[in-house]
Amino acid sequence: MAVALTMAQMKVAVLRHAFHGRRAQTAGTGAALGALFAAGTIYLAFVDPDLLAAGYAVWLLGWMLGPVFMGGGDETLRPEYFSLLGLPPRRLAAGLLVAAFVGVAPLVSLTALLGLLVVGVRLGVANAVVAVPAMALQLAVFVLLSKVSVAVIGLALRSRLGAIASGVLNGAILAALGQIWVFFVAFGQTGVPAAVWYLPSGWGLLAVQGDWWALAALAVLVVLLLGAWAALLGRRAGATRTSARGRRPMTAATVNGAIVAKELRTWSRDLVRNHQLTFALSYGVCFAASPLILGWDGMLPYAGPIFVVMAAAMASNVYGTDGTALWLTLMTPGVSDVRGRQLAWLSAQAPVAIVLTVVFTAITGGPWPLMLALLSALLGGAAGLVPLISVFALVPGTDPHRRAGNPLRTSEDDGGLTGLAYLMLVLVIVTGVPAAFVAVRYGWAGVAVGVLTGVLCYWGFGLLAERRLCSHGPELLDVMRTGRKPETTVKFRLDQLSKTQKSIVWWCFGFGAIPLVPQGIIATVFVANDMLRHSWFLATYMPPGLRYPVAAAFILLGLAMYGTGLWFVRPRPSGEGAAA
């Protein structure tokens, strides 16, 4: 116990120092927000135990996923600090666990868990007594699950399987957030699913309500998690990547074949790109499939197109990720590197997109013209825009062999990368608009338009990229080598903006899709097909004369949001940055 107490004291000391400076403000804001959530949760205890169970499930999710998106969670006391002391892993884990209970987040969560006490008191004396150990155990489960999931993901990102798994998970979570309305509608219609009771987050509540076994289960879970965490802490230090995999020999015989082979190998062997691809796939499928929860399959066929758009955004810095390897392209000027990369991008993404679109459209039985038109237009548009954007708005990447521990960090300029990805999202969607429009109005003619614009984008944008690569190759190489953009090129940077501007940009890009796509474009499609009173599509509830205007207004709103966002991050000469 001495170790644990010492560690807890260390943590208190560290936090005391931290909370003196400017971080105190952030922590204070966080604590206030947390207290608000906690109060809300306690309120649920008075309303409906079902909702309380759901509430605790959200807390659990927060504990498990929060650190994944916020840089690895609470690392005030790092296991590495103690690695030279030679503590046995279990005592180290127990000590760190005790220290982990010291802090704002556990305190806030404990407050939220007072809901258990409220439920207990309302049921009887025995229930109220059980509530006290239940609260402690429940909090331990939260903290431990958080620690274990961070440790697992940290390990996972060192292996292909891990990169893929985290890609799937991140995609699913982001898609769920984007489609959060589905879940609200679903819960509104069918009530809280019973599953929330059986998640570990519900066990405390079960125990308080008289299922005594749940208390024992919580205790067992704590012991198991502690063991798991101790084991993971041991792995954290030494694990290295082995590379004794079998390699396929390269059988290409032509120039383009060689570039495609190189690109495909790079994609399949690079954990970052593994992660990005599975992210795009998972996002597309989850986003399109989530309305199935409501029994509505109208969005399902869009999984393919959404995947294409996301995959393009992920590849928006394709030249930057390869770093200074660009010199080889410069030394072989007769070769069209861009065409090879376009082919490679298509041969990796198109099969997936086509299968997704065809299968899902077959399941829903249409609308075939729209889906095929979109698919061909977007594939061509993306394959054209990927090299174009990455050449014209290159964000210098860190050379692959110089990157540090975190495989997901490919550039020092992640603001620039994010801006580029958003730009790509918008532009690729734009390349799909003409075909979609014609398909909605005239049916199969849209497919012809889609193929035409797709081929044109592929050819034309590819040509532009190739020209730029030829004329500005040495400059691009210099940007990669020094990591600095020369005065003449433009910047897409978020970090030049003030806090308010940044949050405006985030809101615009983050939520612009809602008015534009579902409330605007999809609603127009529904109205055009006389599919009225459709779930949450506002325009379909309007009186006849107002349907198109409302949908059009939403489209305008969406476009205005993207426009505003783009205006803030618009390209500007680097000198102007300080003034902005």
Partner 1 sequence: MTPALEISGLTKRFGDNLAVDHIDLGVPQGSFFGLVGQNGAGKTTTLSMAVGLLRPDGGSARIFGTDVWSAPERAKAMVGVLPDGLAMPERLTGREVLTYLGLLRGLDKDVVRQRAEELLAVLELDGAEKTLVIEYSTGMRKKIGLATALLHAPRLLVLDEPFEAVDPVSAATIKTILRGFVAGGGSIVLSSHVMALVEQLCDHVAVIDKGRVAAAGTLDEVRGARSLEDTFVELVGDQDTGVKELSWLSH
- Footprint of ligand ATP on this chain (CB under 6 A)? 478, 481-482
d(CA 85, CA 38): 38
Q: How far is CA 50 from the centre of its chain?
A: 29
Cis bond upstream, residue 486 (ω within 30)? no
> Looking at beta carbons only, is 122 or 484 nearer to ligand ATP?
484
> Looking at beta carbons only, is 265 or 481 nearer to ligand ATP?
481
DSSP state for residue 572 in the 8-state scheme = E
Q: What residues between 255 and 274 interact with partner 1 by CB under 8 A?
A: 255, 257-259, 261-262, 265-266, 269-270
When asked if residue 483 is in the footprint of partner 1 (CB under 8 A), the reply is: no
When asked if residue 466 is in the footprint of partner 1 (CB under 8 A), the reply is: no
Buried b (16+ CB within 10 A) or exposed e, 534-568: bbbbbbbebeeeebeebbebbbebbeebbeebbeb
State how far the alpha carbon of 405 is from the alpha carbons of 146, 239, 446, 516, in Å. 21, 12, 48, 39
Q: Give the shortest CB-474-to-partner 1 separation in angstroms.
A: 4
Question: What is the total count of residues that contact partner 1 (CB under 8 A)?
Answer: 40
> Looking at beta carbons only, is 158 or 481 nearer to ligand ATP?
481
Q: What residues between 360 and 399 interact with partner 1 by CB under 8 A?
A: 399
Q: Give the shortest CB-234-to-partner 1 separation in angstroms.
A: 25
When asked if residue 322 is in the footprint of partner 1 (CB under 8 A), the reply is: yes
Q: Which among partner 1, ligand ATP, none contacts residue 413 (Cβ within 5 to 8 A by kind)?
A: none
Q: Where does residue 483 fall: left (phi above 0), alpha (psi -120 to 50 degrees), or beta otherwise?
A: left
> Looking at beta carbons only, is 89 or 483 nearer to ligand ATP?
483
Q: Which among ligand ATP, partner 1, none contacts residue 477 (Cβ within 5 to 8 A by kind)?
A: partner 1
Q: Give the shortest CB-324-to-partner 1 separation in angstroms.
A: 4
Q: Give the shortest CB-484-to-partner 1 separation in angstroms.
A: 11
State how far the alpha carbon of 121 is from the alpha carbons of 44, 49, 125, 368, 569, in Å. 15, 13, 6, 59, 55
In sequence order, what E strands does 474-520 have? Answer: 490-491
When asked if residue 20 is in the footprint of partner 1 (CB under 8 A), the reply is: no
DSSP state for residue 539 in the 8-state scheme = G
Q: Give the shortest CB-575-to-ligand ATP separation in angstroms.
A: 18
> Looking at beta carbons only, is 297 or 478 nearer to ligand ATP?
478
Q: Residue 312: what residue type?
A: A
Radius of gyration of the chain, Cα coordinates, nearest whole angstrom: 27
Write the DSSP assignment of 397-444 as a string of letters: PPPGGG--S-TT---S-HHHHHHHHHHHHHHHHHHHHHHHHHHHHHTT
- Binding segment toward partner 1, per CB under 8 A, in 213-221, 318-326, 378-386, 495-503: 318-326
> Looking at beta carbons only, is 9 or 482 nearer to ligand ATP?
482
Q: Give the shortest CB-287-to-partner 1 separation in angstroms.
A: 30
Bridge-based pairing state of the strands 572-573 and 490-491: antiparallel
Q: Give the shortest CB-478-to-ligand ATP separation in angstroms.
A: 6
Q: Give the shortest CB-158-to-partner 1 separation in angstroms.
A: 14
When asked if residue 405 is in the footprint of partner 1 (CB under 8 A), the reply is: no
Q: Which positions ≥6 away from 352 have C-beta within 8 Å? A: 281, 307
User: CA dihedral in degrees (516, 522, 528, 530; nearest 10)?
Assistant: -130
When asked if residue 254 is in the footprint of partner 1 (CB under 8 A), the reply is: yes
Q: Which of 21, 71, 334, 543 binds partner 1 (CB under 8 A)?
A: 334
Q: Which among partner 1, ligand ATP, none contacts residue 262 (Cβ within 5 to 8 A by kind)?
A: partner 1
Contact 354, 371 (CB under 8 A): no
Among candidates 427, 451, 419, which has minimal Cα distance to 438?
Answer: 451
When asked if residue 478 is in the footprint of partner 1 (CB under 8 A), the reply is: yes
Q: Which among ligand ATP, partner 1, none contacts residue 250 (Cβ within 5 to 8 A by kind)?
A: partner 1
Residues that bind partner 1 (CB under 8 A): 243-247, 249-250, 252-255, 257-259, 261-262, 265-266, 269-270, 322-325, 327-328, 330-335, 399-401, 474-475, 477-478, 481
